[in-house]
Amino acid sequence: MVSAITLDTYKQQIGSGDAFNLSDSFNGRVGDEQVPLVVQFKERGLVQQFQDGLMPFMTGFVGSLDENSQVTADTGEAVSYVGTSDDIVGLGRVKMNLPGTMFPHEGFFYGFLGLQNADGKRITTFNVWFHVYNGNPDMFVNQAPFRTELQKVLDQAQRLIDTTDGELKAKIQAFDDKIVATFAKWNGDYATIQQTVTDLTSKLADIAQKIKDGNVLTVKDLNDSLQTFEDRFAALTSNVQKALGDFQDGNTLNGYFKDEVDEVGGPIPAYACERLDQFTRIPTSNLNIGFITDNHHQLSSYSPHSINHYVYMAAASRRARLDAVVAGGDNTNGWFGKQEKLVETRQATSVLANRVAAGTDVYYVFGNHDNGVGQNGNNTPDTCLSDAEIKAYYRTADKVYGETRDGDSLYGYKDYSDKKVRLIWLNSFDLPYTLNSDGTYEYDFLTQSGYQNQQLTWLANQALKVPDNSWQVMIFTHCPLPGTFEVAAGQPQLSQYNSDVLIGIINAFQSGTKYSQADAGRTFPINVTCDYTSQGKAVVIGLFNGHIHRDGQMIYDGINCIETAASLCSSRNPGRIEDTIAEDCWDIFSVDAANRKIHAYRFGYGTDRDFTY
């Protein structure tokens, strides 16, 4: 803070011709802002002429006491003060609030303070020294004069990101990421930057010394210095352009992944980039949801390049504007031991969530392979993942994207208000982790599906209570309804507890009616009641699922059911060829809610699809 001294000390230290009682030395600390300083006039009558439009001001230079040289521009700004013009005239003193620009960094500052009226008349102090002590340079201080040019560019980008919404924000963030990534890699040329700046600073210091010594700066001196800087800056620019590569034409994917940085699993292949490039045409006015399901990531050759499939989905979010990505279950295969399962789950979740574009949400749906119960003979706590471990990797308690969950549940919803769509995801393997007497799990998650009462009650009375019935809902789950896609694929009909209650709730929501079901005798007892009569009829865009590893669509019991084929490349999925675009398979559902249409943009095996609802 600024030092205070007595009036007697003022009188001892001021010059006889000065209008103010003021010490010739004050102290401050880096980061100080609006520091009060009381200035006393020698003659109160002096300030009568300044009564109209009186404005305190301060001006000065930051420098080094040893060199006594000017190193930054004149601050030259008015400062705020406490009181009114009448107070100043009546008391003969003014309390000025010194701004943060007077305390930019550790060292010494000198300048003068004064008063000025509307006619430009002023009275000032003699030069006053401020000793600025070390402090926190990030607190309440304009650091612009002390930031490098690169830092200023990144600062500006961050300000734009912080104040911009939507598609523009995503593009700015992508460009900022490119700059940071490029310079992080550009270690050799960073030394060139440092040397260039150092040499230029040295030359400017030499010129300043010539002026100080009274030597005349010739035009040739100036031209030589400028030409040297221009030559080196041109070379530096060339190096920057070479390092940026395809960034210069706004191609945020090709240069970054094919030329500069190896992605997880290696550079994105050309055949994948070609398709990813086409996603830039996806309408940003639609609700766009990426859906990758049944990737079955495993640390073996069983699922070729499975981790790359999450990389490709994340890359799509940096091309298209994806509101969210839903990983639809069987995100891992659950084949090996517990430690392998933990590694596989960590990889699957981190690669996708940490690489999507800013503004793209990521939600993980729980599938029957994800905890490994029933897979490869694993059915004990020491060989499988627990409910708590799955939730920890899916970050359900953190609610990272502002979603609503039932506590830390594996189900939840998120509103996309600009599209008036609520995205809901459910847990179709909502089974207890109870143990038999021999220490094995009672329920086989691999073959048994179901919804318990708590989840269904939450769905009926929270998730499906939308702001009004002009809103539409989009529901994702891993396992389809029994009697739908497994029958179409020629597989045995699924066993799913309480699927009839799920259907009853969704039908009541769509028709704007009541639904009630109570049955204590079920394997998972049910007691659900809901009433949508006041809400009115509402629209379910679709019930989207995976699990069967095939594409499909049907209206089942009044519900639009849509199936997406597996991302997994295996002999179970005919037509899938490793190291080609057909190795992978997932959709981007682009929903035109106004016209009730969906266009599914396909990446990999298969083709685009169109649906109405």
Distance CA 451, CA 431 (A): 7
Distance CA 88, CA 47 (A): 8
Least confident of 11-25, 388-402, 526-540, 547-561: 11-25
Least confident of 26-30, 218-222, 408-412: 218-222
Distance CA 350, CA 344 (A): 10
- The answer on pLDDT for 478 being more than 90 is yes
- The answer on pLDDT for 287 being more than 50 is yes
Distance CA 309, CA 297 (A): 9
Distance CA 225, CA 219 (A): 10
Question: Element (H or E) spanning 603, and its range?
Answer: strand 597-604
Residue 295 belongs to some domain of the structure = yes
- The answer on pLDDT for 446 being more than 70 is yes
Q: Are residues 435 and 576 in the same domain?
A: yes
For residue 333, the tally of other CB atoms under 10 A from its CB is 27
Segment 478-504 shows an average pLDDT of 93
Segment 25-34 shows an average pLDDT of 68
- The answer on pLDDT for 1 being more than 80 is no
- Give the model's pLDDT for residue 262: 56
SS3 content of the chain, % helix, strand, coil (to 5): 35, 25, 45
Write down which residue in 91, 108, 143 finishes a domain: 143
- The answer on pLDDT for 152 being more than 70 is no
Residue 254 belongs to some domain of the structure = no
Secondary structure E strands in 244-344: 287-292, 324-327
Segment 496-504 shows an average pLDDT of 98
Tell the residue number behind the tokens 């059915």, with chain if given.
379
| Predicted confidence band of residue 135 (pLDDT cuts 50, 70, 90) | low
Residue 437 belongs to some domain of the structure = yes
Residue 482 belongs to some domain of the structure = yes
* CATH number of the domain bearing residue 60: 2.60.40.10
Segment 407-414 shows an average pLDDT of 98
Do 571 and 553 contact (CB within 8 A), yes or no? no
Q: Are residues 87 and 180 in the same domain?
A: no
Closest CA to 144 of 72, 67, 199, 44: 72
- Give the model's pLDDT for residue 8: 40
Q: Are residues 440 and 479 in the same domain?
A: yes
Q: To 5 degrees, how large is the angle CA 526–CA 530–CA 532?
A: 155
- Give the model's pLDDT for residue 605: 97
Do 431 and 443 contact (CB within 8 A), yes or no? yes
Residue 288 belongs to some domain of the structure = yes
Enumerate long-range contacts of 142-151, CB under 8 Å, 24 or more apart.
142/100, 142/101, 142/104, 143/104, 145/72, 145/73, 145/104, 146/104, 146/105, 148/197, 150/183, 150/193
Residue 41 belongs to some domain of the structure = yes
Distance CA 91, CA 348 (A): 72
Segment 494-505 shows an average pLDDT of 96
- Give the model's pLDDT for residue 494: 85
Number of domains the chain is built from: 3
Q: Are residues 302 and 188 in the same domain?
A: no
Distance CA 562, CA 564 (A): 7
Segment 11-35 shows an average pLDDT of 56
Render 354-378 in DSSP notation, one character per residue. TTSPTT-EEEE---TTSS-TTGGG-
- Give the model's pLDDT for residue 55: 53
Is 88 exposed, middle or buried, given 0-12, 13-18 or 19+ CB atoms closer than 10 A? Answer: buried
Write down which residue in 82, 110, 143 finishes a domain: 143
Write down which residue in 216, 249, 282 finishes a domain: 249
Structural domain boundaries, residue 113: 7-143
Q: Which amino acid is it at 367?
A: G
Residue 1 belongs to some domain of the structure = no
Q: Are residues 102 and 209 in the same domain?
A: no
* CATH number of the domain bearing residue 395: 3.60.21.10
Q: Are residues 315 and 436 in the same domain?
A: yes
- Give the model's pLDDT for residue 264: 78
Residue 195 belongs to some domain of the structure = yes
- Give the model's pLDDT for residue 214: 61
Mean pLDDT of the chain: 78
What are the Cα distances from residue 304, in Å, to 71, 298, 344, 531? 61, 9, 14, 48
- Give the model's pLDDT for residue 84: 53
Question: Element (H or E) spanning 237, and its range?
Answer: helix 219-244
Helices (H), 14-148: 85-91
Secondary structure E strands in 330-487: 361-364, 404-405, 412-416, 421-425, 449-450, 472-476
What are the Cα distances from residue 484, in Å, to 475, 499, 562? 16, 12, 10
- Give the model's pLDDT for residue 28: 72
Q: Are residues 392 and 504 in the same domain?
A: yes
- The answer on pLDDT for 200 being more than 80 is no
Q: Are residues 128 and 185 in the same domain?
A: no
For 415, the token pair is 């509103």
Q: Are residues 107 and 21 in the same domain?
A: yes
- Give the model's pLDDT for residue 572: 83
* Residue 35 DSSP SS3: strand
Q: What percentage of residues in the chain have a pLDDT greater than 90?
A: 53
Segment 51-78 shows an average pLDDT of 44
Q: Are residues 152 and 130 in the same domain?
A: no
Q: Are residues 108 and 234 in the same domain?
A: no
Q: Are residues 29 and 163 in the same domain?
A: no
Do 263 and 274 contact (CB within 8 A), yes or no? no
Predicted model pTM? 0.61
- Give the model's pLDDT for residue 222: 58
Question: Element (H or E) spanning 130, and its range?
Answer: strand 128-133
Segment 190-212 shows an average pLDDT of 59
- The answer on pLDDT for 394 being more than 50 is yes
What are the Cα distances from residue 216, in Å, to 203, 209, 221, 225, 229? 15, 11, 10, 15, 21
Segment 56-62 shows an average pLDDT of 52
For 35, the token pair is 């520091």
Least confident of 159-168, 375-384, 476-485: 159-168
Radius of gyration of the chain (CA): 34
Segment 536-561 shows an average pLDDT of 97
